[in-house]
Amino acid sequence: MKQLLDGFGRVHTNLRISVTDVCNLRCIYCMPEDMVFIPDTSLMTYDEIIHFTRIFIGLGVNKLRITGGEPLVRPGVPHLIKQLGQFDELNDISLTTNGIGLITQAEALYEAGLRRINVSLDTLNEEKFEQMTRRKVLSRVLKGLKTAHECGFNPIKVNAVAMRGFTDDEIVDLATFARENNYQLRFIEFMPLDADDIWGRNMFIPGKEIIDRINNVYPLEQMHLNGDAISDTAQRYRFADNGNEVGVIPSVSEPFCDNCNRIRLTADGKFRTCLFSITEIDLLTPLRQGADDVVIENLIIDAVAKKEAGHKINAADFVKPERNMSRIGG
């Protein structure tokens, strides 16, 4: 089996595929209100996504996450999941969603073979939710979560971006919410990938502080990871009393790039070796021009060989990618 090895000895087995940049929310840390979306004709078709997946599997990919924008606003994702499920080499398929589409699609996704999902939810407060997402739909996100739970998804991870002076007073509330509903909570440090340039060091809360705040109320035990889990982005803990998991993704304060195994394909078929890449490789145009798989493979292998060491958020020469989060897919 071929491997996607970079210049730092990291092997890349975890592919994130964005199926659309469209979303039914406008989260302030992700996209502007007046977002201009990628034209449909420039989006990968599901057949092209399956084609690329086959190529990446041949290069050693065995884990796949479907992202957006909001993937469930694009029709047909359950069918795509079913098709992806036919690749025996993929030992893990997951999906990141804002939860709204789960109300109507959780059952179909579960029947298609999906077993675990990540749902973004940063606040339980209606007003703050509207400020954060510029939409009044908190109740539908909560209903989507509940529907997924009833369908049997496990684990259901709730991803929350903690912002100082905005949602940090809800850190323990979200932990309580996750405990009461048996969700796995993940706090993601606020990263400079927002469209409106609101990111600042005064707004992000280090993962350690988040864990300390939770630990003061709900004693935690740190989980010690090994094997593939070492590449996990999250620092994982268990509540000492019920064993449920909670975690933080400290991308800014404690970067985990040394163990990175992630690569990305954008909805318009651009290959990105890092979330913060400032360059990307167009795979879709050559595919549509009839390039054979070997040509595509070589484009991927070359790009990974030149992969950056990691993000430079903490460096003086940090350059923010042109694409905002909804165009990359997280």
The contact set with ligand SF4 (CB under 6 A) reads 256-257, 260, 262, 274-276, 310-311
- Which neighbouring-strand residues pair with 187? 160, 248
> Tokens representing 39?
């034209």
- State in angstroms the smallest separation of the CB of 218 from ligand SF4: 28
Closer Cβ to ligand SF4, 191 or 287, answer by number = 191
- State in angstroms the smallest separation of the CB of 255 from ligand SF4: 6
Closer Cβ to ligand SF4, 81 or 304, answer by number = 304
Distances (CA, A) of 86 to 81, 83, 110: 9, 5, 15
Q: What is the largest CA-CA distance in the chain?
A: 59
Distances (CA, A) of 164 to 50, 202, 206, 320: 41, 7, 10, 21
Closer Cβ to ligand SF4, 28 or 252, answer by number = 252
DSSP tally for the chain: helices H, then strands E = 10, 12
- State in angstroms the smallest separation of the CB of 36 from ligand SF4: 25
As a whole number of angstroms, the distance between CA 53 and CA 327 comes to: 19
- State in angstroms the smallest separation of the CB of 252 from ligand SF4: 10
Cβ atoms of 254 and 207 within 8 Å: the answer is yes
> Tokens representing 164?
């100082």
Give me Rg for the CA atoms of the chain: 19
At which residue do the structure tokens 């909804």 appear?
A: 326
Closer Cβ to ligand SF4, 77 or 275, answer by number = 275
- State in angstroms the smallest separation of the CB of 229 from ligand SF4: 15
Closer Cβ to ligand SF4, 99 or 192, answer by number = 192
Closer Cβ to ligand SF4, 83 or 233, answer by number = 233
- State in angstroms the smallest separation of the CB of 12 from ligand SF4: 9
